[in-house]
Structure 1
């Protein structure tokens, strides 16, 4: 390694601040601490976007009922966490939400709306509990709660937009893909005829 590269690397390392997996640690407080918490952890980010994607996949009333169920139950979990009510297996529930929601989306099966609401609601309690437990001491509870609820709704909207965009694109591409496959079959038939 050249000396100038080493010096630049050393300066960048010394100037860096510690990376935190979840925000809300340190001097952050209020709305911004709450808003940053769901965005600061990849587990929260993936699960909340997945709820939006699942809502778009389910369609109908699920488009707004699934995100609403998640946010509502997450607030309940946040209150439990902030008031010190213990909840077992919170981290497993959070990681499990990413795995299960991802698998449900991948399978592409339509669920009854009530079942989908229950599924996201159960996982939301774990996410909310983590938000409530990790609320900074100097944060105003209601501001912090509004912050993580708004961030969560925004992440759901991103997932919903992503899911609806992919669905619209697939609907536009599908007829062309079917026609192209028909053309390929006809061309193969012509090849067989010529052979």
Structure 2
């Protein structure tokens, strides 16, 4: 079983897929790195030596800069990494939208819901997945304003909306019909 993973070819940190012990020698893509300190599963370590100010890349993008010297095989975390991101640039593009031919759907229905004003809609589910460990606290802080501005009363139970839905499917979908965390 593979013990480590380099998520993107441009990354310079490696993900431990299982607990790594100090002194373990990890070989990846022809490079061998000795682990400097224990690295817990799902945590990261430096692929090569990093100096203060060096960019740290994961998922192929800049996620931070080293705040102190980091030896190859040493764990990466908030103790030796400062969040950083690449500059953002808007790109203007020319695009003309053409309405698609929807006639083949003229007499079809979907498993949406009817709004009070007679229109129909679908349920939007937002998944917020932190790409790096230092973002988790930020998502926790944003929960309250999101809940206040976006949340609405939960929709009626799945079985009430679609009474002919087979029971096992309705039971499975019930847990997905309302996210109490937003």
- TM, length-normalised to structure 2: 0.23
Give the structure, 1 or 2, with the largest relative contact order (CA under 8 Å, sep 6 or more): 1
* Larger helix share, 1 or 2: 1
* Larger strand share, 1 or 2: 2
- TM, length-normalised to structure 1: 0.22
